[in-house]
Amino acid sequence: MTNTWLITGGAGCIGAHVVRALPAASERPVVYDDLSTGIAERVPAGVPLVAGSTLDAALLRRTPAEHAVTGVVHLAAKKQVGEWLVRATGRATGLATASLRSFNVAGAATPELADVGVFNIVPMVFEELTEGSAPRIFGADYPTPDGTCVRDYIHVVDLAEAHVATARALAASPGRDLTLNIGRARVFRSTT
């Protein structure tokens, strides 16, 4: 059965990857984005783009009905949205919910989907290298093989696929509440 997923923030770096991963899993995306940081050109042809704020209650109520939405993947938010808020929303509405924890998202499936901001560690390192500066390494006394802190990195395509798998699991088990750590816990030097 094909579900229709409303992807809030679907024109952002991570959202655009999720939007492209859904059809590969026989799922249908609808993008909802205010385009404050998202880029409309990231949305593939044929995928509906609703330009609007998540604070626009009337548009937010209308959109799921107009597109026969069966679920939501919420990516239009600050990086640290409280898991308590996700759970509370699920309990109040009876919806299945999931919180995916990931850190240091890097990469892009194609150049047009790349993160254009320098707000994450990988772009920060490349910015410093481009400017001729060496990236700074913090900490040398952690209980790790090289003494530096553990940093988890995940490719954005892997994260998008994790969102798709989670969405499908929630669709198959209504009322579920999941909290998932997405990463590998490998040791990498901590830099900023």
- Average pLDDT rounded to a whole number, residues 164-188: 79
Return the pLDDT at 25: 94
Return the pLDDT at 188: 43
Q: List CB contacts of 75: < 8 A, sequence separation 6 or more.
A: 7, 8, 9, 10, 12, 14, 15, 18, 163
Kindly state the percentage of the chain with pLDDT values over 90. 40
Return the pLDDT at 66: 96
Question: Which long-range contacts (C-beta less than 8 Å, at least 24 apart) are formed by 163-168?
Answer: 163/18, 163/21, 163/73, 163/75, 163/100, 164/18, 164/21, 164/22, 164/24, 164/25, 164/27, 166/98, 166/100, 167/3, 167/5, 167/22, 167/27, 167/71, 167/73, 167/98, 168/3, 168/25, 168/27
Q: How far, in Å, CA of 30 to CA of 4, rounded?
A: 7
Residue 187 pLDDT greater than 80, yes or no: no
Return the pLDDT at 17: 96
pLDDT tens per residue across span 70-84: 888 888 876 556 677
pLDDT tens per residue across span 20-65: 999 999 999 999 999 998 999 999 999 999 999 988 999 988 999 9
Return the pLDDT at 45: 96
Q: Is this structure's pTM higher than 0.85?
A: no
3-state SS, residue 39: coil
Cβ-contact 155, 107 below 8 angstroms: yes
Buried b (16+ CB within 10 A) or exposed e, 79-108: eeeeeeebeeebeeeebbbbbbebeebebe
Taken in order 89, 95, 100, 106, is the CA torsion positive or negative? negative
Residue 150 pLDDT greater than 80, yes or no: no
Cβ-contact 35, 12 below 8 angstroms: no
Nearest to 86 by CA among 76, 96, 78: 96
pLDDT band at 19 (very low <50, low <70, confident <90, very high): very high
Return the pLDDT at 39: 94
pLDDT tens per residue across span 100-148: 888 778 888 988 888 877 677 777 888 889 999 988 777 778 887 778 7
